[in-house]
Amino acid sequence: MSKRRVVVTGLGHVAPVGNDVATGWANLLSGKSGIGRITRFETSDMACQIAGEVRDFDITQYISAKEARRMDLFIHYGIAAGLQAVADAGLDDVPNLDKTRVGVNIGSGIGGLPLIENTDGELRAGGPRKIGPFFIPGSLINLISGHVSIIKGYQGPTYGIVSACTTGAHSIGDAGRMIQYGDADVMVAGGAEGAISRLGIGGFASMKALSTRNDDPATASRPWDKGRDGFVMGEGAGVVVLEEYEHAKKRGARIYAELVGFGMSSDAHHITAPNAEGPARGVTNALRDAGMNADEVDYVNAHGTSTPLGDANETNALKLAFGDHARKLVVNSTKSMTGHLLGGAGGVEAVYSILALHHQISPPTINLFEQDVEGGCDLDYVANTAREMPIKVAISNSFGFGGTNGTLIFKRV
Amino acid sequence: MENIEQRVKKIVAEQLGVPETDVKNESSFVNDLGADSLDTVELVMALEEEFECEIPDEEAEKITTVQQAIDYVSAHLNK
C-alpha cells in the first residue's frame, strides 16, 4: 500500500512577533525582536525579568468573553492559531466537508500553569470552596483540541501531545500520520504555550536555563553567539492544517508545502542535558521517512534556543546527521526573535519553515554579534539579515527535556 | 446603592454572558439562560463572593431561578 500524501493548506500563529501569520512573518524578515521586560507580574525579586510576551491580543475576536474567562492563556493562543489556520485553509467554505474525517491535535508542553498557580493561591487563602468549576477544564492540555473540535464540529481524532519543547513538532508529525494511516483526511495540528508566570519563569530560572540579560531584552536571545547565556521564554501558538493530498487537490486548495518526513528519537541520556546522537538520529529517521538523502535539504529551522550547551550540541548533531553537507545548510533560529515558546515552539517554527519554503527566503538569526566558532558553532546561521535563496526542502528541529527529539521535513509541491 | 435584586441580576448576567434585560425574576438558569452544570456552580461562587456569605451545597442545589437566588440572599443577609 502506498502512503497517503499529506500537504499543508492552512497556517495560524500567535507569537511575541505578531498575533497573525502575516505580521509575524514580516517582523521576522526584518529582524525585529519580540522580547521585552515582563509586564504581566512583579519581577523585582526574580533573576530573569524578560520574556517574549504576546501583546495586544484580543481573544474575543475568536470566542465570547464569557467562554474566554474560563480557560487559561495557552488555550486562548491555541484556539486563536487553530481558527486562523482553519480560516486560511478555507475549510469553512468546503461544501459537504465530512467533519467526522477532520481531527485536531494541538498540544502544549506545560498547560495551564498560570491558572494552577492562581488557583493554588485561592485555595490557600480561602479553602477548597474557592476552587472554581472551570479550573480543571481551563488548564487541561487537550482542551485546546476539545474547544476547536466543539467550535467547528470536527468529530475525528482530537487529542494533545505532551513532550516538553518537542510538543509542537510531535503533534504535527503524529497528526500527519493520522492522515497517512487513514484515520482522518484533515488534521488541525500544532502546539501552544502560555507559561509566562512567576512559577514558570521562576522554575526555569532556578535551572539556570534562562538568560538574565535584563538590561537589554532585545538582544538576550542570541543563538550561537559567544555571549549567549540561556533562553528567553516566549508564548503563543503555531498551528497548521494538514490535508490528504487528493482531498486538497480536489477542492482546489492552496498548497503551501508537503509534509514528507517525520522522525523521532530519544537521547536516553539526561533529563535536561542534551547529547548529539539523539537529535542526529531524529533527523536521520525523518530523512528515511521522507525517502530523501541528506544533501537534498537546504534550510534548517533549528531548535537553537541560545543556551551555551544546546546550541553547540545541535551543531554537532547536524554534522553527525548531514556529514559534509552540514556546511552547505542554512541553519536559522527564529527563536532569536520569538524567544522559546516551549510546547508552542515546534508549532510556530513549522509555520516559519513552511513560509521559508513558500517564499524562498530564510529569516535572519539576529543578535549574532560574535559567532562562537571556538565553541563549535561554525555553520552558516544566516546572521542578522534575511536571505533570499532557493529552498526545495526545509526541516524543523525540536528537542525537549527528557531527551525527546522530533524533526519535520517539508518539501515544495 | 443597588438593592439585592439588582445586584443578583447583574451577577447572573455577567456570569452567564447574557444581557441584563434577559434576566427576569422567573428566569431559570438552565432552561432560560443557557447555563450548564458548571455555570451554576460558578454562579453560586460569585453570589457568595458578592454577598460575603457561604451557601452550602445542599442549599445551592435548590437555587435554580433568579428569584430563588434573590430569596436566598435576602433571607441570609437579614440574619
Which tens digits make up the pLDDT trace of A151-186? Answer: 999 999 999 999 999 999 999 999 999 999 999 999
Q: Which residues of A touch B (CB under 8 A)?
A: 64-67, 129-130, 132-134, 137
Q: How confident is the model at residue B77 (pLDDT cuts 50, 70, 90)?
A: confident
Start-to-end Cα distance in chain B: 20
The closest CB to that of A133, out of B16, B41, B48, belongs to B41
In sequence order, the β-bridge partners of residue A340 are: A233
Residues A203, A207, A208, A209, CA torsion sign = negative
- The reply to whether residue B17 touches residue A129, judged by beta carbons under 8 angstroms, is no
* A119 contacts in chain B (CB < 8 Å): none
Nearest-angstrom CA–CA distance, B25 and B66: 5
Q: Measure in Å the smallest separation between the Cα of A19 and chain B Cα atoms.
A: 26
* A133 contacts in chain B (CB < 8 Å): 38, 41-42, 45
Q: Measure in Å the smallest separation between the Cα of A154 and chain B Cα atoms.
A: 22
pLDDT single digits (tens) A58-75: 999 999 999 999 999 999
Pick the closest to residue A307 from A318, A298, A299, A315 (CA basis): A315
Give domain limits for chain B. Answer: 4-77
pLDDT at A1: 54
Which long-range contacts (C-beta less than 8 Å, at least 24 apart) are formed by A353-356?
Answer: A353/A299, A353/A301, A353/A394, A353/A395, A353/A396, A353/A408, A353/A410, A354/A8, A354/A11, A354/A240, A354/A256, A354/A257, A354/A394, A354/A410, A355/A11, A355/A21, A355/A25, A355/A256, A356/A299, A356/A301, A356/A332, A356/A391, A356/A394
Strands in A156-235 per DSSP E:
158-159, 186-193
Interface test with A, best of B23, B36, B42 (most A CBs within 10 A): B42
SS3 label, residue A102: strand
Pick the closest to residue A52 from A222, A223, A197, A232 (CA basis): A232
Q: Which residues contact A348 (CB under 8 A, 6 or more apart)?
A: A13, A15, A24, A168, A236, A237, A238, A334, A338, A341
Model pTM?
A: 0.96
Residues of chain A with pLDDT under 70: 1
Q: Measure in Å the smallest separation between the Cα of B15 and chain A Cα atoms.
A: 7
The closest CB to that of A134, out of B16, B38, B48, belongs to B38
Average pLDDT for chain B: 93
Nearest-angstrom CA–CA distance, A399 and A51: 20
pLDDT at B79: 53
Minimal Cα distance from B40: which residue of A? A133
Q: Which helix (H) or strand (E) holds A37?
A: strand A36-37
Q: Count of A–B CB contacts within 8 Å?
A: 20
Fold type of domain A7-401: Peroxisomal Thiolase; Chain A, domain 1 (3.40.47)
Which is catalytic among the residues B36, B39, B57, B71?
A: B36
Q: Which residues of A179-201 are buried (b: 16+ CB within 10 A; e: fewer)?
A: bbeeebbbbbbbbbbbbbbbebb
- The reply to whether residue A130 touches residue B45, judged by beta carbons under 8 angstroms, is yes
Is it true that domain B4-77 has CATH number 1.10.1200.10?
yes
Minimal Cα distance from B15: which residue of A? A66
Q: Are the C-beta atoms of A168 and A347 separated by less than 8 Å?
A: yes
Helices (H), A234-360: 245-250, 277-290, 308-322, 335-338, 345-359
SS3 label, residue A115: helix
pLDDT at A404: 98
Helices (H), A30-72: 65-68
B71: annotated active-site residue: no
Minimal Cα distance from A129: which residue of B? B45
ipTM over 0.90: no
* B53 contacts in chain A (CB < 8 Å): none
pLDDT at A181: 97
pLDDT at A413: 93
In sequence order, the β-bridge partners of residue A190 are: A106, A239
